[in-house]
DNA sequence: ATGAAAGCGCTAACAT
DNA sequence: ATGTTAGCGCTTTCAT
């Protein structure tokens, strides 16, 4: 049986609140030096550990924030997820907040999942899902502080990378390196971030009098799938079959870029000689690649810092910006 | 203000326990059909959500397990950490257990950290640290159920990969491919898993009448460091300078192997032609590599399953094996 | 089948 | 400076 403040109080012939006040460091309470001494010593001796659950029930606060991803095919194993969560982990640690890694709740209905989020265990939620997720509507009218991480959700405060500027930098860079025929490779899945990237890509190309810039939409499994599904092979073939064969490919994220590079390698093509390849996110560990990837690096720690700020502001009852945009930089690697 | 069971009881003129019994599905309680109906409907209407904190205080159970890594330079961003946590996440989700990602508690003392672990928020702990971590001694004599993940800790129940068999398979494989001069690359840091690997390596080589098998100890930063620290370049040079130049290198883990491969590439060497390279863990996503890595694949989902079993057995007060060993397989890639 | 009472361990309000 | 009382929301006796 764990030792409680009551146990200490009984042992010392004090009241339980006195012990609690001393041990929890209540503001504006000055215990007599002797009492304080005795309590602290008894606590140490008896191995007292304050019960966080009781404290939370009383204080309606847990100092725990949740992390939930609605893309149930995504796990922490994905480099992308790992980058996001790694940033949050570091930042939360510094603020003495712990992260409750909520299940993906496979096979459960929205209301059930919502219930798991608002049952008092967390003070706020980092949400990573799509705007269409039915959970979003529930959360939007709920009292639970939420921040959408890394994809913008109109109805929730969001913290996202600067998609527009990232693409601008990419096109600037490729253009300056002499590329004129650039293709954009996007997923089929709908994501606001990706929409913005595609739109900016078209705009930037149009500015340079390329009105029919190539955009290819192809879904592909990424993450920890054990086999390449070959979709990037097909995408590459599509690229190569274009009347005006592109000299550069702008991929919507890093795994997509890596898959494309592998498809190139299979055909004996090498980046950037035969095709320049650029990614987005900077989620992969460059040290583990044979060829470093040119990509738009998202500062995950900064993004996490902003996200936690937005969450805490809400927890403290403040107003927060609808959308916080984090600046990105072009990371020049060996592929473009 | 959230709706409580008391609110529902008052509204319906019932007692609070009755409402609670119906809503929580108390065993062996048969409410009258009418009462049950009214309660369920009121709960739905009023948006009742049971408070998990109150339930936990009462029941001394949270259905949350903690995850703590004492290697404070390691974050979820590391592919290794991501593989471990990804497995746990999947398995815990299936068992309806959530994971509390505890901070690394940077700059806090052991007793403080220990206090964060035994404050009632978690039912058990997945621990990833070294046997020398001072926290281990505290946990060993604590009532908190703990399981050491992926590195054996003598004083705690551990779930680990079969290091011995992994190395046996590796040497078997390399030998069968004609390699006779094989070097093992280990970290300087002390880890029981690595000791076992090195020991087995020496034994396997000795069995084949190679009594002075080469083992090189070199630390290197891995994970999300932004720059290669060059230690593998140096390691490679050491290998190449050996009187009997090895034809194969057995790396203690996958990132080490990848770093070595990069160092090779810098010198224009290619695996397996100029040097066969084998890793250990299978923590990296093969889809994202230009060349797939030959490695010992640890079945992370299985390891996670065993780990959760061991933890739950302890939580339920049962005895558990001191060490659970998970079988591994050689994954034949393109590097050896 | 339901209600009354108790208590999980803590903090806060009020009284002394 | 300390004690008394109350209550966070729930589950578990025990009584009816």
Q: Which residue is nearest to nucleotide D8 (CA to C1')?
A: A58
Residue A293 DSSP label: P
Helices (H), chain B: 5-12, 16-24, 33-46, 52-59, 79-94, 110-117, 134-140, 163-176, 192-207, 231-241, 254-266, 300-315
- Is the minimum CB–CB distance between A63 and chain B shorter than 8 Å? no
The per-residue pLDDT for A289 is 85
The per-residue pLDDT for A225 is 43
The answer to whether B15 CB is within 7 Å of strand D is: no
A28-37, B6-15, B73-82, B268-277: least confident range: B73-82
pLDDT digits (tens, 9 = 90+) for B56-113: 999 999 999 999 998 765 677 788 889 999 999 999 999 999 999 998 888 889 999 9
Q: How far is A82 from chain B (nearest CA, A)?
A: 5
Q: Among all strands, which nt has the closest C1' to B15 (CA)?
A: C3
Please state at what angle helix A300-315 crosses helix A79-94, rounded to 10 degrees: 50
The per-residue pLDDT for A226 is 40
Q: What is the mean pLDDT of chain B?
A: 93
Q: Among all strands, which nt has the closest C1' to B55 (CA)?
A: D10
The answer to whether B60 CB is within 7 Å of strand D is: no
| Whether B83 and A101 lie within 8 Å, measured CB to CB | no
Tell me which residue has tokens 């980092």.
A126
| More confident call, B219 vs B147 | B147
- Is the minimum CB–CB distance between B126 and chain A shorter than 8 Å? no
Q: Are strands B64-69 and B248-251 parallel, antiparallel or unpaired?
A: unpaired
Res A98 pLDDT > 60: yes
Question: What's the rounded Cα separation, in Å, for the pair B186 and A145?
Answer: 46
Question: What's the rounded Cα separation, in Å, for the pair A133 and A71?
Answer: 9
Q: Average the pLDDT over B150-169 and give the result.
A: 96
Calculate ∠ Cα A308-A74-B65, nearest 5°.
65
Indicate which of B23, B47, B82 best probes the interface with A, i.e. most A CBs within 10 Å of its own CB. Answer: B82
Q: What is the mean pLDDT of chain A?
A: 93
The per-residue pLDDT for A95 is 95
B16/D6 CA-to-C1' distance in Å: 19
| Whether B290 and A286 lie within 8 Å, measured CB to CB | no
pLDDT digits (tens, 9 = 90+) for B275-300: 999 999 999 988 888 889 999 999 99
Residue of A nearest to B69 (CA): A89
Q: Are the beta carbons of A240 and A275 closer than 8 angstroms?
A: no
| More confident call, B157 vs A30 | B157
CA distances from A91 to A84, A86, B82, B104, B271 (A): 11, 9, 18, 11, 39
B100/D1 CA-to-C1' distance in Å: 39
Residue of A nearest to B87 (CA): A77
A16/D5 CA-to-C1' distance in Å: 12
B53: nearest CB among A56, A93, A291: A56
Q: Which residue is nearest to nucleotide D2 (CA to C1')?
A: A18
Q: Are the beta carbons of A279 and A254 closer than 8 angstroms?
A: yes
The per-residue pLDDT for B234 is 86
B3/D16 CA-to-C1' distance in Å: 29
Question: What's the rounded Cα separation, in Å, for the pair B39 and B5?
Answer: 10
A48-52, B209-213, B227-231, B258-262: least confident range: B227-231
Q: Average the pLDDT over A265-289 and give the result.
A: 92
The per-residue pLDDT for B226 is 40
Res B220 pLDDT > 60: yes
Q: Which two tokens stand for residue A190?
A: 């709908």
User: Which band of pLDDT confidence, cut at 50, 70 and 90, is reported for residue A331?
Assistant: very high
User: Which band of pLDDT confidence, cut at 50, 70 and 90, is reported for residue B224?
Assistant: very low
Cβ contacts of residue B37 below 8 Å, gap of 6+?
A: none
Which chain B residues in 278-297 lie under 8 Å from chain A, judged by CB atoms? 284-291
A20/D3 CA-to-C1' distance in Å: 13
Share of chain B above pLDDT 70, in %: 96
Question: What's the rounded Cα separation, in Å, for the pair A309 and A323?
Answer: 12
Residue of A nearest to B97 (CA): A103
CA distances from B237 to A215, A322, B76, B183, B240 (A): 46, 54, 32, 13, 5
Q: Which of A328, A7, A9, A309 is nearest to A172 (CA)?
A: A328
The per-residue pLDDT for B240 is 93
Q: Among all strands, which nt has the closest C1' to A35 (CA)?
A: D1
Q: Which residue is nearest to nucleotide C4 (CA to C1')?
A: B15
pLDDT digits (tens, 9 = 90+) for A73-82: 567 778 888 9
CA distances from A255 to A78, A260, A282, A292, A298 (A): 9, 8, 10, 13, 14
Q: Which two tokens stand for residue B177?
A: 């491919």
Question: What's the rounded Cα separation, in Å, for the pair A31 and B218?
Answer: 55
The per-residue pLDDT for B229 is 54
Res A223 pLDDT > 60: no
Indicate which of B118, B285, B301 best probes the interface with A, i.e. most A CBs within 10 Å of its own CB. Answer: B285
Res B222 pLDDT > 60: no
- Phi, psi at B57, each rounded to 5°: -60, -45
pLDDT digits (tens, 9 = 90+) for A198-221: 999 999 999 999 998 999 998 776
The answer to whether A1 CB is within 7 Å of strand C is: yes
Q: Which two tokens stand for residue B155?
A: 């004083």
The per-residue pLDDT for B120 is 97
The per-residue pLDDT for B203 is 98
- Is the minimum CB–CB distance between A226 and chain B shorter than 8 Å? yes
A55/C11 CA-to-C1' distance in Å: 7
The per-residue pLDDT for B273 is 96
| Whether A287 and B259 lie within 8 Å, measured CB to CB | yes
User: Which band of pLDDT confidence, cut at 50, 70 and 90, is reported for residue A167?
Assistant: very high
The per-residue pLDDT for A73 is 58
Share of chain A above pLDDT 90, in %: 80
Residue B82 DSSP label: H
- Is the minimum CB–CB distance between B299 and chain A shorter than 8 Å? no
- Is the minimum CB–CB distance between A103 and chain B shorter than 8 Å? yes
Residue A94 DSSP label: H
Q: Average the pLDDT over B190-199 and give the result.
A: 94
Size of interface A-B (CB pairs under 8 A): 184
Q: Strand D and chain A: which residues 24-43 have CB closer than 7 Å?
A: 29-32, 34-36
| Whether B102 and A102 lie within 8 Å, measured CB to CB | no
- Is the minimum CB–CB distance between B141 and chain A shorter than 8 Å? no
Question: What's the rounded Cα separation, in Å, for the pair A223 and A221?
Answer: 7
The answer to whether A2 CB is within 7 Å of strand C is: yes
Helices (H), chain A: 5-12, 16-24, 33-46, 52-59, 79-94, 110-117, 134-140, 163-176, 192-207, 231-241, 254-266, 300-315
């Amino acid at each position: 049986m764990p030792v409680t403040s009551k146990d200490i109080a009984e042992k010392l012939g004090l009241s339980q609140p006195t012990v609690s006040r001393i041990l929890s460091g209540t503001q504006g309470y000055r215990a007599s030096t002797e009492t304080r001494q005795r309590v602290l010593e008894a606590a140490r001796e008896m191995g007292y550990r304050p019960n966080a659950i009781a404290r939370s029930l009383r204080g309606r606060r847990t100092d725990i924030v949740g992390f939930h991803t609605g893309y149930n095919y995504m796990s922490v194993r994905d480099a992308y997820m790992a980058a996001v969560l790694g940033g949050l982990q570091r930042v939360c640690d510094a603020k003495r907040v712990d992260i409750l890694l909520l299940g993906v709740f496979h096979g459960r209905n929205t209301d059930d999942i919502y219930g798991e989020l608002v049952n008092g265990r967390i003070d706020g939620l980092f949400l990573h899902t799509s705007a269409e997720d039915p959970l979003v509507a529930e959360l939007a009218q709920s009292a639970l502080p939420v921040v959408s991480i890394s994809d913008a959700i109109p109805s929730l405060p969001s913290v996202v990378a600067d998609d527009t500027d990232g693409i601008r930098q990419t096109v600037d860079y490729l253009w300056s390196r002499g590329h004129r025929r650039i293709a954009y490779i996007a997923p089929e899945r709908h994501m606001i971030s990706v929409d913005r990237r595609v739109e900016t890509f078209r705009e930037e190309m149009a500015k340079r009098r390329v009105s029919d810039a190539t955009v290819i939409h192809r879904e592909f499994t990424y993450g920890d799938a054990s086999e390449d599904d070959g979709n990037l092979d097909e995408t590459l073939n599509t690229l190569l079959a274009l009347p005006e064969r592109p000299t550069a490919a702008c991929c919507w994220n890093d795994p997509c870029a890596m898959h494309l590079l592998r498809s190139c390698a299979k055909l004996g093509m090498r980046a950037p000689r035969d095709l320049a390849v650029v990614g987005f996110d900077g989620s992969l560990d460059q040290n583990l690649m044979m060829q470093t990837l040119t990509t738009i690096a998202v500062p995950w720690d900064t993004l996490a810092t902003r996200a936690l700020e937005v969450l805490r502001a809400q927890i403290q009852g403040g107003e927060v910006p609808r959308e916080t945009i984090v600046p990105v930089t072009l990371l020049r690697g060996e592929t473009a």
